Chain A
Amino acid sequence: MLEKDVVYESTLDHDFLDEIYALPGGQEIKKCIQCGTCSGSCPVGSVMDYAPRKIFSLIRAGFRDEVLSSNTIWFCASCYTCAVRCPKEIKITDVMYALKRLAVKEGKTRGRKAVVLSKNFVKMVNKYGRNHETELMTRYILEAELFNAFHFIPQGWRLFSNGRLPLKPHRMKNLDQLRRILKKVDELGEI
C-alpha cells in the first residue's frame, strides 16, 4: 500500500502508462476523467487496496510497484459492470487482465491465491484440453489452502454426494493439435 510521504518524481516510472497503453484494451486509459463510476459500481471495490479509479491515477502517475503488487487486480471478479458503465468506454476488465499478466511476468504475485488457481487452471487445460474441476480444486487446496483444507470439506461433500464431482477427467482427443497451436503462440510471443 501507498505510504503517506512526499513522493519524488525520480521514484516514479513514467513509462508505465505507455506500457499499459500499448496493451490491447489499454488504448483508452489515457482518457480517464476520474469520475469514479467504476469504483462506485464495483462489487468488490470495498476490499481492494485501491478501487479501479485509483488504479488508473496510480498508473498515470507512474506508481508501477504499488499497482502491480496491489490486491486490486486479483480481486477483480470479471463482472464487467465498470466496463459497460465507463463513460469513456475504457475496457477496464481487460486492463485488469493486462495488469495480472504483467504482475505474473514480474513475479509480483506472492501470496496471491488467484494466481495459484489460474496457473493450475492453465495446467488442467494444457493437460486434458478441458478443465477437470475435481482435480483443479484438489490441486488448488493443496497448494494454497493446505491449512484450511478442512474448510472445503462440506462443499466438496455436497457436490460429491449429489454426483457433481466426477473423479475421472474428460479428455479431448486431438490434444496434439491444441499443443501445436499453443506452441506456435509461444513462438509468436504474447501480444
Chain B
Amino acid sequence: MSERIGVYVCHCGTNIAGKVNIDEVVRFAEGLAGVELVRDYKFMCSDPGQAMIQKDIEGDLIDRVVVASCSPLMHENTFRKVCERCGVNPYLFTMANIREQCSWVHVDMGDSTAKAKALIAAAVSRTKFLEPLPKREVSINPRTLVIGGGIAGIQAALDLAEAGKEVVLVEREPSIGGHMAKFDKTFPTLDCSACILTPRMVQVGQHPNIKLMTYAELDEVNGYVGNFTVRVRNKARYVDPELCNGCGMCWEKCPGTRVPRKGNVHEKLSLGPTTSIYMPFMQAVPAVPVIDSGTCLYFQKGKCRVCESVCERTAIKYDMEDTFEEFEVGNIIIATGFRTFDPRVIKRYGYGALPNVMTSLDFEIMNCAAGSTSGAILMADGSEPKSIGIVHCVGSRDKHYNEHCSRVCCMYALKYAHLIKEKTNAEVFDFYIDMRCFGKGYEEFYDRLLGEDVRFVRGKVAEVSNVPVNVVEEGKLVISVEDTLVGVVRRVPVDMVVLCTGLESSVGLAEVATMCNVSVGKDGFIIEKHPKLGPVSTATDGVFIAGACQSPKDIPDTVAQASAASSAVLSMITRGTIEIESATAEINEKKCSGCRICNNLCPYLAITFDREKGVSVINEALCKGCGTCVAACPSNAIKAKHFANEQIFAEIEGLLSV
C-alpha cells in the first residue's frame, strides 16, 4: 500500500508521559507498516503541536494522520481541522485515546505503555483503510425550544426573544415561575422574589416571539442539531385559555378541595386557592385556572358543575382532552430545575410524624405574603413559636441520600434566621456542619446574622424527638446534637424545626434527558460537555442546559447560566449552518434484496423504500450513522461509512498484534 501515515504522540504534560514510556512507544510506532514518520510533543493540541502536523503534510511527507493523545470528545475536531487546513480530508485522520483509556486508568507504567502501543497499532492499521468523505452541512432552524419555565427558562427565553428569535417555552405546571415564585425574599439582598420575578413572567406571557405552552410536557424529540422535530403533550386543563379572563368566580364558588381546608396551619399551607379549580398562585402566567380532576366533584362523583355555571365566559370545558402538538426547532435548552429532598425517609428527624417539623419549602410558602398565613410564621396550632431550630444538610452531604452539597441551603437558612428574627420574638438556633457562604455578598450576610443574635451551633443534628427528660422539655421538640466546637452533646428544646432539605434533580429529568440524548450523572443531574469549558453545552450538539438541571444552583448562577445558554444558541443561529458528521450509512443497491427490515429499525426514520427500484434508500440528511441498519441487514448490503467492516477488522487486528 502506498499510504504514508504520520503518527504524533502527545505527552499531555505529564498526564500521559507520567504513565506511558513515550520513547518506547515512538520506537514501536516507527516499526509499524505504513508509518512514514513518528513525532512526539509535550502538547499536540497547542499551536506548535498543530504546526508540526501541518509542516509534515505541506512538505508532502505524509497523507494520513494518527494522533495518540486524549479522548476524541476532547480534540478530534481540533486535529480534523488541521488536516482540512492543509488539504487532507479530515476523515483520513484517527485519534488513539492513550489518556482517558490508558494513562489515567492504569497504575503500572509497563501496563499502560503496552496498552498505548496496542491502541496506536489499532489506529494505524485502521487508518490504512480510511476513505475520504465529503463535508456535510445542515442549516439551523432559528426557533428554539426551552424546556422548563422557572427562572432559568424564563431568562433564556427572554434573551432569545429579545434578540428577535422565536422561542417555544414548555412548562409542565399550570404557570411559569418555578420555585422562585414560591419564595418571599431572596438571599442575601432580601429583595422580594415576586417583585423581581413577576415582571419577567408577564413579559414572557406577552412577548410576540415566545410561544408559551404551560401545563404541557415534552413527549418526543427527533432529529439532530439545527433540525429537531419536537412533540409536546398539552394536558387537559378543562378551561379554555382563549375564553377565560381569569376573573376568579370559578374558584370562589368551587366546593371541591385540593388542599384540605380543615387540619392545622401547616397542613393547609398554600399559595393559591385551595379549591379543585385553582391557580397555583395569584400572579400566575397565564392567569388561567386548572381543574384538578383528582379532587373535582364533577370528575369524581359526576355531579357539581358549579364552575361551569358561574363562568360568564363559558370557558369551562369538562370534555377537554390531552392534545399533541408538533413543531420544529433548531436548538433545545433544558431548564428543568430541581426538586427538594423528601425528608420522610430520615425517620429520626420526624418529618410527617411530629407536628411543627417542616421542610424548607413549607417554610418558604408560609413566609410568602400571598400565602395562607399571609406571611406569618406560625406553629401548627396557629400560635407563634418561641424558639425555632434550623437544621442544615438534610439529605445533602450524606452517602445514604445525596453525596453532593446542595449549595443554597446555608444561605437560605441564614435568610430564614433573619426572617424569623424580623417577624417574631423567637429564639433561633442554627445547626450547621460547615457554613458555606461563597457568593457575592454572602459572607457579609453571614456577618450580619452573627450580629442578630442567632445561636449558631456547629454540629449535624442527630435526632429530633418529642421525648422529654426534664420539665423544660415537656411539650417541646428536642434537638439532640453535638456542639462540636465545645465538644459536648446538647439537647435543645424548640417549638418548631425547619429542615433545610437539599436539592435533587427534578422529577422526570431522566426521561427528558433520554429524549434529548444527553446523559445524567450518578447524582441525577445532567452531565455538561466539559465541567470547566463547556458548562452550558452537552455531548449532543444543539442541546444546551441552564440552571439546576445541571447541579444545585442559586438564582444569580442560574440566571448567568441561562444567559450563557441562550448566547450559545444565538451563536449557532447566527452562523446559520453547521457541519455534521459525514459518517453515514450507504446502501449497495445491487446487494439489497428489498426485504425492508431496516426501514422500521432506523431510529431517525431515515430509510424509505423505493418501490420502483425495489430497494431501500437512505436519506443522508437524516442518517446519524448509528449503524443499526448495518447490523440488521441480512444481505450485507449496507455499509457504515468510516466504520466499514474492513476498517473495523483492521483495527481489531492492529489491537491484537501487540
Contacts and interface: CB of A to CB of B under 8 A. Distances in A.
Q: Do A and B come from one complex?
A: yes
Nearest to B398: A87
Nearest to A39: B482
Interface in B610-632: none
B243 interface: no
B482 A88 contact: no
Contact of B489 (A33, A35, A39, A89): A39
A40 B398 contact: no
A134 interface: no
Contact of A37 (B434, B458, B460, B483): B460
B400 A36 contact: no
Interface stretch (A45-53, A124-132, A155-163): A45-53
A162 B281 CA distance: 69
A90 to B, nearest CB: 10
B390 to A, nearest CB: 16
Interface in A12-54: 33-42, 45-46, 50-51, 53-54
A89 B400 CA distance: 8
Contacts of B480: 40-41
Interface in B446-497: 458-463, 480-484, 487, 489
Contact of A85 (B458, B462, B484): B462
Nearest to A35: B460
B386 interface: no
A44 to B, nearest CB: 11
B489 A46 contact: yes
A39 B482 CA distance: 6
Contact of A36 (B399, B463, B481): B481
Contacts, number: 61
B317 interface: no
A99 to B, nearest CB: 19
A129 to B, nearest CB: 39
B174 to A, nearest CB: 37
Nearest to B399: A89
A40 B399 contact: no
Contacts of B398: 87
Nearest to B460: A35
B397 interface: yes
Given A36-B481, A40-B460, A40-B481, A85 B397 contact: no
B348 interface: yes
Chain A residues touching B, range:
20 to 34
Contacts of B461: 37, 40
B433 interface: yes
B487 A41 contact: no
Nearest to A88: B399
Nearest to A82: B462
A51 B399 CA distance: 22
Interface in B376-432: 393, 397-400
B462 A40 contact: yes
Nearest to A46: B489
B399 A41 contact: no
The CB with the most chain B CB atoms within 10 A, among A37, A53, A88, is that of A37
Q: Which of A39, A45, A50, A54 has the most CB of B within 10 A?
A: A39
Contacts of A50: 487
Nearest to A40: B462
Interface in A63-116: 85, 87-89
A35 B391 CA distance: 12
Given A40-B480, A88-B399, A51 B462 contact: no
B433 A35 contact: yes
Contacts of A46: 489
A51 B487 contact: yes
Contacts of B489: 39-40, 42, 45-46, 51
A89 B483 CA distance: 21
B463 A33 contact: no
Contacts of A53: 482, 484
Contacts of A51: 482, 487, 489
A45 B487 CA distance: 11
Contact of A40 (B393, B397, B434, B482): B482
B484 A41 contact: no
B371 to A, nearest CB: 32
Contacts of B462: 36-37, 39-41, 85
A40 B489 CA distance: 6
A35 B484 contact: yes
B397 A36 contact: no
Nearest to A42: B489
B397 A41 contact: no
B487 A40 contact: no
A36 B462 CA distance: 8
Contacts of B463: 40-41
A159 B266 CA distance: 52
B484 A33 contact: no
Contacts of A88: 399
Nearest to B392: A35
B341 to A, nearest CB: 13
Contacts of A36: 458-460, 462, 481-484
Interface centre among A41, A45, A50, A89 (most CB of B within 10 A): A41
Given A33-B433, A36-B460, A40-B461, A87 B482 contact: no
B430 to A, nearest CB: 14
Contact of A33 (B397, B400, B481, B483): B397
A46 B490 CA distance: 10
A53 to B, nearest CB: 6
Interface in A123-152: none
> For B399, B463, B483, B484, which residue has the most chain A Cβ atoms within 10 angstroms?
B484
Contacts of B482: 36-40, 45, 51, 53
Contacts of A37: 460-462, 482
A51 B400 CA distance: 23
A87 B487 contact: no
> Residue among B348, B400, B434, B458 with the most chain A CB within 10 A?
B400
Contact of B348 (A54, A85, A87): A85
A87 B397 contact: yes
Contacts of A45: 482, 489
Nearest to B396: A87
Nearest to B480: A40
With a 10 A CB-CB cut-off, give which of A36, A50, A54 has the most chain B CB atoms.
A36
Contacts of A35: 393, 433, 459-460, 484
A54 B399 contact: no
B376 to A, nearest CB: 32
A33 B392 CA distance: 14
Nearest to B479: A40
B621 to A, nearest CB: 52
A37 B460 CA distance: 5
B615 to A, nearest CB: 60
A104 to B, nearest CB: 27
5 tightest Cβ-Cβ pairs between the two chains A and B: A40-B462, A36-B482, A87-B398, A35-B460, A39-B482
23 contacts: A33-B397, A33-B433, A33-B434, A35-B393, A35-B433, A36-B458, A36-B481, A36-B483, A37-B461, A37-B462, A37-B482, A39-B462, A39-B489, A40-B459, A40-B460, A40-B463, A41-B463, A45-B482, A45-B489, A46-B489, A53-B482, A87-B393, A87-B398
Given A36-B458, A41-B480, A88-B399, 17 more contacts: A33-B397, A36-B460, A36-B481, A36-B482, A36-B483, A37-B460, A37-B462, A39-B462, A39-B482, A39-B484, A39-B489, A40-B462, A40-B482, A46-B489, A51-B487, A54-B487, A89-B399
Interface of B: 348, 393, 397-400, 433-434, 458-463, 480-484, 487, 489
